[in-house]
A and B are shown apart, each in its own frame.
Chain A
Amino acid sequence: MSRPVLQVTDLKKIYGTGEATVHALSGATMTVHRGDYVAIMGSSGSGKSTLMNILGALDIPTSGSYLLDGVDVSRLSDGQLALARNRLIGFIFQAFNLIPRTTAVANVELPLAYAGVKPKERRRRAMEALDVVGLADRAGHEPNQLSGGQQQRVAVARALVTEPALLLADEPTGNLDSKSTDDVLQVFDDLSAAGRTIVIITHEDEVGARAKRLIRLVDGAIVTDVRQSPIHLPPVGAIRRSAGRAVVAGRHSL
């Protein structure tokens, strides 16, 4: 088998000092291979977001090692980290994190701008990504003019627009109704079928059920790690549908 996309070993994250110490992660170890579709579940405060932030190279662990595509992230320079975040990873925040007073389409364009894509091409791809999440008609709206679910979908579009090889999503359907949830998951299924690696955090069992692998976190430690479907086949959601509409074409690969 090829080298894993993600490999974390004995990952620990400790917040605070003395009395107020919180062990957000207490020795998590896991390996994710290319093309896998992993759902992480666990109660609130179990350390899911903490783990995801480290996987997205946004935070560093207190101890333990993290290899991204075989490279030790702690050894990367600021410039290399920026490159990895921009080209390799698509990150969807639990709190959306859109830039205020900036239109939806400008928000979605942002990662493309940092990747050096020309303005015209940028606009076209941003509109496409917004179309995928069903928000093409809201492109000119600013975040405070959008509902929570719409903001979340803009955040999803922003993560998809660079067509990243690795998609990290922190509760991407937390604010969505079942219809929108289904639409977004459809996009994920298509991406997975196209060979992308996906890690998604969720509280909803039906979302977890569509992933190829389900990991449960309790108090910062992985307690179960179940394979639900083979890694080399399309996810159940994509099989269930007829030939999936190939919304997102492959560009990067690990």
Chain B
Amino acid sequence: MNFFEVVRFSLRGLNANKLRSALTMLGILIGVAAVILLVAVGNGSAKTISDRIEALGTNTITVMSAGRGGSSSTALTRDMADALIDPELAPDVKSVSPVVSSSSATMTYEGTDHSVATFVGTTPTWFAASTTPVGRGSAFTSDDVDQGRRVVVIGKTVAEELFPGVDPLDKQVTVGGALFTIVGVLDEKSSTGFNDGNDTAVAPLTAVQQVLTGYGALTSIIVEAANPDKVDAAQAEVSTILNQKLDVSSSSTSTPYRIQNASSLLETQTETADTFTTLLGAVAAISLLVGGIGITNIMLVTVTERTREIGIRKALGAPRRVILTQFLIEATLLSVLGGGLGVAAALIGAQFQIVGVQPVIVPSSIGLAVGVSVAIGLFFGGLPAARAARLRPIDALRYE
């Protein structure tokens, strides 16, 4: 009996037990698809997060006050920001942008109100440092900052809220009782988390301090390094200068300010995302296991019948090798077919957004999922057959 004939026997066997074959394949399909897709979702969300952080700019450092409430000893001042621009002490610093921000500003235009999520007061260097380019119109100038001119660049959301169908450029809006002239509209930005990054307005530092926040402490200072490789050097220079300014002894462990840089943020975020992916992977592995138990169950239920069948075949003179080959091919076909369909289902599923995340397939997860499912199929399909093929025909026929 040649191999081709044994394959035909296997196909006939699968065909004769359609429901069992279909259920087994379905179990494998779901297990494989779940593993691949869930890992892809985890991976996709990790990628989205890192993309967003990279969009924030990987060569910037943010200095924030460590103390809350802005007591004068820990407050960041304009003076400190200016001190950071020092080609001698801080050669790796490209630009420094002091920032004040207000989250309670209301902008009014011809009777329409809009509460701006973040109203930023800063210097022109901020636009480059925070990778927030101006789309239409132009940014304000250092001269505007020096003169405290009331000009403002608004985000996409603000423009849509206040000026539906109208060109916002050169229009005058009221903020905190003062008139501001709109000089530019920011490019649309991908939103980070729950905050709408486009619900913002940017004006000269001096104007915002005068109208909204007062001349108190800065919210933060954004320092741009000369290039991404110099971020660590720039950070060291910044802390040295700030320690000097704030009289922090070099031995003291706590500083009155905090320095954050995007690459360290990226690192923590990536770590979190990895944990998330691992978690999803574990859930997926459990679903594969449950699928495997389902397959085992189906196989075990049919063991009695199949054992009897093997008894009949042996009684008719089938050699053990032929029986084993037939049943192994059956199991292989089922699991390979089920696994293949599962991969196909996962690949199709990955084309769509799942809970707001675009899945990104991890190739190794495909190998793992298919490997495990084929192993399960072979093991639980082959084991009963191997056992039955060893029985004496009469014992196989009597098996219950």
Q: Which residues of A contact B (CB under 8 A)?
A: 53, 56, 58-60, 78-79, 82-87, 91, 93, 97-102, 106, 110-111, 113-116, 119, 158
CB within 8 Å for A83 and B317 given contacts A58-B392, A114-B322: yes
Q: Which residues of A contact B316 (CB under 8 A)?
A: 85-86, 91, 110-111, 114, 158
Report 21 cross-chain contacts, Cβ distance below 8 Å, ordered by A residue.
Answer: A56-B315, A58-B394, A59-B392, A59-B394, A59-B395, A78-B319, A79-B319, A82-B319, A83-B317, A83-B319, A86-B316, A86-B318, A99-B313, A100-B305, A110-B313, A111-B316, A111-B317, A114-B316, A114-B319, A116-B1, A119-B5
Q: Which residues of A contact B305 (CB under 8 A)?
A: 100
CB within 8 Å for A53 and B394 given contacts A101-B16, A102-B16, A113-B5: yes
Cα distance, A97 to B396, chains bound together (Å): 12
Q: Which residues of B contact A101 (CB under 8 A)?
A: 16-17
A35: shortest Cβ distance to chain B, in Å?
23
B306: shortest Cβ distance to chain A, in Å?
10
Contact A97 B312 (CB under 8 A): yes
In the complex, whether B314 has a CB less than 8 A from a CB of chain A is yes
Cα distance, A101 to B16, chains bound together (Å): 6
For the complex of A and B, 8 pairs with smallest distance between CB atoms: A86-B317, A101-B16, A59-B394, A85-B317, A58-B393, A82-B319, A58-B394, A111-B316
Cα distance, A60 to B392, chains bound together (Å): 8
Q: Which residues of B contact A99 (CB under 8 A)?
A: 309, 312-313
B375-400 with Cβ < 8 A to chain A: 392-395, 397
Q: Which residues of B contact A91 (CB under 8 A)?
A: 315-316
Contact B317 A97 (CB under 8 A): no
Cα distance, A110 to B393, chains bound together (Å): 16
Interface of B is mostly: helix
Residues 308-337 of B, flagged 1 when their CB comes within 8 A of A and 0 if not, give 110111111111101000000000000000
Could you tell me how many residues of chain B have their Cβ less than 8 Å away from some Cβ of chain A? 25
Cα distance, A110 to B309, chains bound together (Å): 12
B120: shortest Cβ distance to chain A, in Å?
75
Residue of A nearest to B6 (CB): A113
B287-314 with Cβ < 8 A to chain A: 305, 308-309, 311-314
Contact A113 B9 (CB under 8 A): yes
Contact A78 B317 (CB under 8 A): no
Residue of A nearest to B5 (CB): A113
Cα distance, A72 to B316, chains bound together (Å): 20
Q: Which residues of B contact A83 (CB under 8 A)?
A: 317, 319
Cα distance, A87 to B317, chains bound together (Å): 8
Cα distance, A78 to B320, chains bound together (Å): 7
